[in-house]
């Protein structure tokens, strides 16, 4: 910020200084030229042709410097075929005049014809009454006074702009330092939080950075929740594996005859528990990455293509909103829908109906219904069925973790799942509610 401010201040001061220098220099030069013009006008008004055909002044010019040799102010009248008529101030010098042109208006230019004395010259061509000769009236003045004035003006401008620039740089630096003060306070607050072991930034801070502090506290709370979830998952997994490991250890210590069967059975239990907790951990990790989005229709079609190969005798129907999208990772959505549709095909009577966006009036949620024509689930068992390892039909293969995974992953993304009775098919109705993706 300070470098950008310094750059812009330097550019603006440079442009402003150049513009002001040209303006003031032009004003001083025009004032100098106006004085020459007054003198030239006085020369023309006082000039006459004498009986001998030579020009003369009927009255002397008012400025006494024309009478002082080498005074720096000179005049001269020249004409073809006539001797030059110079001022006494020229002494033994002569102004060089180009008589090859005729200026009806005054012409001003700089000249270096006098060694060590730059001149500002104004000339005009005149034909005086009673004579056909073209006369060149010339008035010249040393530029020393003009150049001295310009130098003084430029010196004043340089020092003024140096002081102005230094003041602006100082004010920009102070403004930047003061403007970034709240961020330094945030840094000190974070340092204090880290050194004291606090879990939130509680120091009173300016309104400008309060949204930043709120987001920081929200991030800390989110990190705490993730850490707590990780500890919970680790504890649950350890607790779930403790019992099977104890059974295997006891069987191995006792040299039980059914040791192989016991290891296979308990290993399957441990595998189910590991799969369950890994699914939850993956969902939590992907949720923390950022804003997720997945198309429901595409996910359902992909799941149906896979499940149809396993249950070829089952009829699958799909209806609803093809454009529906939910705020969830596609992999997690596929896992949820895969569990629900596979359960419907496994425990149903041969028909499965999936409806996407069954309640389109709610702008916040997208509901996905999975219905089958099976025996359904009694109301008293609809809560218990979501527990890990809970199974109502033990005659068919399964782990008892499908609905538990569905519930846990949906809740991680802020959704929910509940069970009911299908009005069309008469079997189980699973209502999956997920947050709708925005935009």
Model confidence over 229-263: pLDDT tens digits?
A: 777 667 666 766 777 888 888 888 888 888 888 88
Domain of residue 60, residue span: 2-149
Between the alpha carbon of residue 180 and those of residues 176, 183, 184, 187, 213, the distances in Å are: 6, 5, 7, 11, 15
- Tens-place pLDDT, residues 148-195: 999 999 999 999 999 999 999 999 989 888 888 888 888 888 888 878
385 and 311 in a single domain? The answer is yes
Q: Is residue 86 part of a domain?
A: yes
Domain check: are 248 and 359 in the same one? no
Query: Are 233 and 120 found together in one domain?
Result: no
Looking at the domain assignment, is residue 205 inside a domain?
no
| Position 133 confidence tier, pLDDT thresholds 50, 70, 90 | confident
Pairs from 358-366 (Cβ < 8 Å, separation ≥ 24) = 358/320, 358/431, 360/321, 362/436, 363/436, 364/435, 364/436, 365/415, 365/433, 365/434, 365/435, 365/436, 366/296, 366/324, 366/325, 366/326, 366/433, 366/434, 366/435, 366/436
Residue 155 forms part of a structural domain: no
Per the domain annotation, does 120 fall within a domain?
A: yes
Q: Would you give the DSSP letter of residue 314? A: S
272 lies in the same domain as 295? no
**Polymer length in residues for the chain:** 439
Task: Examine the domain organization and report whether 49 and 19 are in the same domain.
Answer: yes
pLDDT higher at 332 or 433: 433
- Pick from 231, 252, 276: which residue ends a domain? 276
Under the banding of pLDDT at 50, 70 and 90, the label for residue 34 is very high
Last residue of a domain, one of 96, 116, 149: 149
End-to-end Cα separation, the chain, in angstroms = 35
88 and 125 co-located in one domain: yes
The reply to whether 398 falls in a domain is: yes
Classify residue 159: in a domain, yes or no.
no
The CATH number of the domain where 324 resides is what? 3.30.565.10
> Which of residues 125, 149, 173 is at a domain's end?
149
Q: What pLDDT is recorded for position 212?
A: 85
Higher-confidence residue of 412 and 35: namely 35
Question: 240 and 344, same structural domain?
Answer: no
pLDDT class of 281 with cuts at 50, 70, 90: low
Average per-residue pLDDT in the chain? 84
Which residue do the tokens 């040791």 mark? 259
pTM above 0.85, yes or no: no
Q: Is residue 116 part of a domain?
A: yes
Q: In the prediction, which pLDDT does 369 show?
A: 94
Distance CA 339, CA 8 (A): 63
Both 304 and 272 in one domain: the answer is no
Say how far apart CA 234 and CA 36 lie, in whole Å.
100
Is 282 contained in some domain?
Answer: no
Domain shared by 249 and 383, yes or no? no
Residue 201 confidence (pLDDT):
80
Which CATH number belongs to the domain containing residue 12 in this structure? 3.30.450
The mean-pLDDT minimum among 73-87, 150-164, 314-328, 384-398 falls in 384-398
User: Which token pair is 194?
Assistant: 């880290």
Same-domain pairing of 30 and 139: yes
Tokens of 308: 């149809």
Output 290 or 191, whichever has higher pLDDT.
191
Domain count, the chain: 3
Q: Are residues 228 and 264 in the same domain?
A: yes
Task: State the CB neighbour count (10 A cutoff) for residue 272.
Answer: 19
Confidence at 391, pLDDT banded by 50, 70, 90: very low
By percentage, how much of the chain surpasses pLDDT 90?
35
Task: Answer yes or no: do 117 and 55 share one domain.
Answer: yes
pLDDT in tens, 339-372: 899 989 988 889 999 999 988 878 889 999 999 9
Residue 119, φ and ψ in degrees, nearest 5: -115, 150
């Amino acid at each position: 910020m300070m470098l950008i401010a310094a750059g812009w201040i330097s550019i603006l001061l440079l442009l402003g200084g150049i513009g002001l220098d040209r303006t003031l220099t032009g004003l001083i030069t025009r004032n100098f030229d106006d004085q020459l013009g007054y003198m030239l006008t006085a020369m023309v008004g006082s000039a006459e042709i004498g009986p001998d055909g030579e020009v003369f002044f009927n009255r002397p010019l008012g400025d006494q410097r024309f009478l002082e040799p080498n005074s720096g102010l000179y005049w001269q009248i020249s004409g073809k075929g006539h001797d030059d008529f110079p001022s006494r101030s020229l002494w033994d010098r002569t102004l060089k005049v180009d008589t090859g042109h005729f200026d009806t208006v005054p012409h001003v230019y700089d000249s270096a014809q006098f060694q060590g004395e730059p001149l500002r010259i104004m000339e005009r061509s005149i034909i005086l009454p009673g004579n056909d000769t073209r006369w060149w009236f010339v008035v010249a003045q040393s530029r020393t006074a003009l150049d001295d004035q310009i130098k003084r003006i430029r010196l004043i401008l340089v020092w003024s702009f140096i002081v102005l620039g230094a003041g602006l740089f100082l004010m920009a630096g102070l403004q930047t330092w003061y403007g970034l003060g709240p961020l330094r306070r945030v840094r000190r607050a974070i340092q204090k939080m880290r050194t004291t072991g606090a879990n939130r930034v509680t120091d009173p801070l300016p309104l400008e950075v309060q949204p930043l502090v709120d987001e920081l506290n929200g991030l800390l709370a989110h990190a705490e929740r993730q850490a707590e979830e990780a500890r919970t998952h680790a504890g649950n997994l350890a607790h779930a594996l403790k019992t099977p490991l104890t059974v295997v250890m006891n069987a191995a210590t006792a040299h039980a005859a059914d040791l192989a069967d016991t290891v296979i059975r308990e290993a399957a239990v441990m595998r189910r528990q590991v799969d369950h907790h890994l699914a939850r951990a993956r969902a939590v990790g992907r949720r923390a990455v950022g804003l997720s989005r997945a198309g429901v229709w595409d996910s359902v079609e992909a799941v149906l293509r896979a499940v149809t190969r396993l249950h070829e005798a089952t009829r699958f129907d799909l209806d609803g909103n093809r454009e529906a999208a939910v705020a969830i990772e596609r992999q997690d959505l596929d896992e949820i829908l895969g569990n629900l549709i596979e359960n419907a095909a496994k425990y149903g009577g041969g028909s499965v109906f999936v409806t996407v966006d069954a309640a389109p009036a709610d702008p916040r949620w997208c509901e996905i219904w999975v219905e089958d024509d099976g025996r359904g689930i009694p109301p008293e068992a609809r809560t218990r069925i979501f527990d890990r390892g809970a199974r109502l039909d033990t005659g068919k293969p399964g782990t008892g973790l499908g609905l538990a995974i569905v519930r846990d992953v949906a809740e991680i993304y802020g959704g929910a799942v509940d069970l009911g009775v299908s009005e069309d098919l008469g079997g189980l109705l699973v209502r999956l509610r997920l947050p709708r993706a925005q935009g």
